[in-house]
Amino acid sequence: MSIPDDRSLPPCRCPANCGGHPERLARLAPTYPTADPSGAQPPEVPYEPRRRGELIYDTLNRRTGAFMDRHRRLVYLRPERGGAEWEVDAKWLTKSAP
Looking at residue 78, its pLDDT comes to: 93
In order of their start, the domains of the chain are 30-94 (2.30.30)
**Average pLDDT of the segment spanning 58-79:** 91
pTM of the model: 0.60
Residue 65 has pLDDT above 90, yes or no: yes
Cα(50)–Cα(5) distance, integer angstroms: 47
Closest CA to 59 of 72, 80, 45: 45
**Average pLDDT of the segment spanning 40-59:** 88
Q: What is the DSSP code (8-state) at residue 84?
A: -
Confirm if 3 and 24 have CB atoms less than 8 A apart. Answer: yes
* pLDDT mean across residues, the chain: 77
